[in-house]
Chains A and B, each alone.
Chain A
Amino acid sequence: MNTLRAAIVGLGKMGLSHAAILTAQPQVDMVAVCDTSVIVTSAFKKYGKAKVYGDFRKMLRNENLDLVVIATPTKLHYDMVRAALEHGVHVFCEKPFSLNSAEGQELVQLAESKGLVNQLGYHNHFIGTFREMKRLLENGVIGELVHFSGEAYGPVVTKEKVGTWRSKSSEGGGCLFDYASHVLNLLQEVVGRPVKINGSLLKQIYSKGVEDAVYTLLTLENGLTGTLLVNWSDETYRKMSTSLTVQGKNGKIVCDATEIKIYLKQANAAEGLEAGWTVKWITDLAIPVGYYLRGEEYSAQIEYFVANVRRQQPGTINTFEQGLYTDKVIEMIQNAA
């Protein structure tokens, strides 16, 4: 197995996490990192082995990379992803994908025409409970679906103050872009793609200029209707807490990152599910990983990306195209508000 040459641009919270996970992958050499923050790059110079760049294009030119992780603020995604793809480098990009769907569309086409692996950081798809929910829904265990609710709550903005790029809508800030995108993307892949917005409330609580909560009624491509309820100014949650609930005529599934609760009117022998409630925990459903940081899903998504790069074959989970669709739904919600 030959060693892959990897790099990362954007050493914020997600970037540092990706850098640690990438470096820990067997047969992956993290040859370079790129950021403009002196305090972070100096630490890499002092303690790290990777070469430090302040200029992304220079890094692309000099390093002959196999893959790059892009974890910069959203407004920089388009230029950087494009440059990397043009250099023939496989790209893992943080979510949300692009600031507008026209740019996103261009990147999807570029990645496809070059046959390059393209993946986004919607990590919920690598959580065992949500995978189990997707599988159960595909097998129709709760019968004809009647309602869904996608929810996320957390303590990101809990007081009024001047923030960073996350408080500027034009740069990809706000609860809709930054937080609700996770739920929308999860919803679209586990339950179905939203095709219509029937009304939205975007509420400011503490932020100036961007919304802190998103409440929306959606219709999916399969005709199912339901709600999206997301609020990042809720400090009754210790950390981001994402859940999906789907009700069917034969039962109901309630799923979050730690447990999946299945209620059935009648037992399902094929699935080994009894009538009434069955609870399955992440302790049994977690995807085993070689190196762990903050949650199996963060490592599992990088392991998946690296495996696809090795095979030289784009994956099917968290593709640019799926992220672009989420961006389009975000635009639909903005237009409906």
Chain B
Amino acid sequence: MQLNSSLDRVLFGDNQFFGVNHASDEKSRAQAMRFKDDQSIIRVLDQAIDLGVRTFMCTTHDRIANICDHIRTHPDRYRYFKVLPCMPYAHKYANAVTELGIMGTINQYVPGSIFGTFAKGGMAMVQGNYSKLMQILIDAEMKMFAGIDTPVIFIQNVLVDMILGLGMYDVFRDYDDYIRKRYGAEPGYITMNMPDLVDALESVGIYNPIICSSINKAGFRMSGGIERNERYLREKTFRPIAMQVLAAGTLRPKEAFAYLAQFPRIESVLFGSSSKQHIAENIELIESTSMVAQEV
């Protein structure tokens, strides 16, 4: 079990497949139409692999289960392919909470319902044991990745940032321990509040964590201000992954990726695209950024 193995420089994301676009609702609907069937997703994924991508970072969207099936049934094609799950797919739960309430949502998503799962203690068991509840939910989300190499397992920003805001840092500790113990994987954290999260994780003894956050020249979604974010990138010990480098597609790729070069600690860059040409261009720009970074 090698926990501190390095990440690939390029991480390929999945927002484009599921109609997530932070700059245009209209584009997001067009994407949803284009990627209606799983084959169209697999086609783009295969193009990315041919262009050198080795890691797919994806949500636990229901349709990812089908992609995982495809990966499992073609072991030769995906021999060295890694998948980094990001859980949970938040809209699934958010819509359920609006409709069913929190208890109703847990009942719907905990396998076998809460009473079956906690047969002996029932509700009393749940109330005293949130760690166990979290473990059950993680296991349910991770089922689709069985047999696939998942060296890092992320919690999505909406959950990370909520726990962070509420100051319930011990939950991070529980998550961290469980991911290492049960999956032999490195826990990862996606956030829109990177500086605060770095401090929070350190306060519960989580050192050198993998943190994926918005890092872009425009300061978009770099909460707490771009200066503080930049200072943490220079001075703090953690393993940064840059996302939203293009500020939702509003920055030109060349200047956008060049901005990252001043932060040599950035291990990986996450991007998603559905165009073969854009994928190729982005990979080239990211790779050249890393060379500059090493010279620095």
A-side interface residues toward B, CB under 8 Å?
12-13, 16-17, 19-21, 23-24, 37-40, 42-43, 46-49, 155-157, 163-164, 166, 236-239, 241, 243, 256-259, 281-284, 286, 288-294
Chain B residues whose CB sits within 8 angstroms of the CB of A12 once the complex forms: 97, 101-102
Contact with A along B135-161 (1 / 0, CB 8 A): 000000000000000000000001001
Cβ–Cβ contact B22 & A258, under 8 A = yes
Q: A20-B164, A291-B224 are in contact. List 19 more A-B contacts (CB 8 A).
A: A20-B163, A21-B165, A39-B102, A39-B123, A40-B102, A43-B130, A47-B130, A166-B98, A238-B18, A258-B22, A258-B24, A259-B23, A282-B22, A282-B23, A282-B248, A283-B23, A283-B218, A288-B225, A290-B224
- 29 interchain pairs (CB within 8 A)? A12-B97, A12-B101, A12-B102, A24-B164, A37-B102, A42-B130, A43-B130, A47-B171, A48-B166, A156-B99, A157-B99, A163-B99, A236-B32, A238-B18, A239-B94, A256-B25, A258-B24, A258-B25, A281-B24, A282-B248, A284-B250, A286-B220, A288-B223, A288-B225, A291-B223, A292-B161, A293-B162, A293-B165, A294-B158
Q: Say which residue of B127, B193, B248 sits within 8 Å of A283 (CB atoms).
A: B248
Cβ–Cβ contact B22 & A283, under 8 A = yes
Cβ–Cβ contact A291 & B98, under 8 A = no
Complex CA distance for A31 and B158, rounded to whole angstroms: 23
Cβ–Cβ contact B162 & A16, under 8 A = yes
Chain B residues whose CB sits within 8 angstroms of the CB of A238 once the complex forms: 18-20, 28, 32, 91
Complex CA distance for A283 and B218, rounded to whole angstroms: 8
Shortest distance in angstroms between B104's beta carbon and chain A's nearest beta carbon? 7
B128 at the interface (CB under 8 A from A): yes
Cβ–Cβ contact B166 & A47, under 8 A = yes
For the complex of A and B, 6 pairs with smallest distance between CB atoms:
A20-B165, A47-B168, A292-B192, A292-B223, A42-B127, A24-B165
Chain B residues whose CB sits within 8 angstroms of the CB of A288 once the complex forms: 219, 223, 225
Chain B residues whose CB sits within 8 angstroms of the CB of A163 once the complex forms: 99-100
Given A284-B250, A290-B224, A291-B193; A20-B24 close (CB under 8 Å): no
Shortest distance in angstroms between A147's beta carbon and chain B's nearest beta carbon? 20
Beta-carbon contacts under 8 Å, B14-51 to A: 18-26, 28-29, 32
Chain A residues whose CB sits within 8 angstroms of the CB of B171 once the complex forms: 47
Q: Range of interface residues on chain B?
A: 35 or more
Complex CA distance for A238 and B28, rounded to whole angstroms: 9
Complex CA distance for A329 and B250, rounded to whole angstroms: 38
Complex CA distance for A90 and B295, rounded to whole angstroms: 56
Given A238-B91, A258-B21; A283-B97 close (CB under 8 Å): no
Chain A residues whose CB sits within 8 angstroms of the CB of B128 once the complex forms: 42
Q: Say which residue of A23, A166, A237 sits within 8 Å of B166 (CB atoms).
A: A23
B126 at the interface (CB under 8 A from A): yes
B65 at the interface (CB under 8 A from A): no
Q: Say which residue of B23, B25, B167, B247 sits within 8 Å of A48 (CB atoms).
A: B167
Given A46-B130, A238-B18, A238-B28; A156-B162 close (CB under 8 Å): no
B267 at the interface (CB under 8 A from A): no
Complex CA distance for A157 and B25, rounded to whole angstroms: 20
Cβ–Cβ contact B166 & A156, under 8 A = no
Chain A residues whose CB sits within 8 angstroms of the CB of B98 once the complex forms: 13, 156, 166
Complex CA distance for A294 and B129, rounded to whole angstroms: 27
Chain A residues whose CB sits within 8 angstroms of the CB of B218 once the complex forms: 283-284
Complex CA distance for A288 and B163, rounded to whole angstroms: 21
Shortest distance in angstroms between B109's beta carbon and chain A's nearest beta carbon? 14
Given A17-B162, A48-B166; A37-B223 close (CB under 8 Å): no
Contact with A along B84-104 (1 / 0, CB 8 A): 000000010011011111111
Complex CA distance for A17 and B159, rounded to whole angstroms: 10
Q: Say which residue of B126, B162, B221, B248 sits within 8 Å of A39 (CB atoms).
A: B126
Shortest distance in angstroms between B283's beta carbon and chain A's nearest beta carbon? 23
Complex CA distance for A166 and B97, rounded to whole angstroms: 11
Complex CA distance for A97 and B102, rounded to whole angstroms: 23
Closest to B28 in A: A238
Cβ–Cβ contact B161 & A290, under 8 A = no
Shortest distance in angstroms between B79's beta carbon and chain A's nearest beta carbon? 33
Shortest distance in angstroms between B91's beta carbon and chain A's nearest beta carbon? 6
Complex CA distance for A43 and B170, rounded to whole angstroms: 11
Shortest distance in angstroms between B144's beta carbon and chain A's nearest beta carbon? 20
Q: Say which residue of A16, A37, A257 sits within 8 Å of B25 (CB atoms).
A: A257
Cβ–Cβ contact B248 & A281, under 8 A = yes
Chain A residues whose CB sits within 8 angstroms of the CB of B158 once the complex forms: 293-294
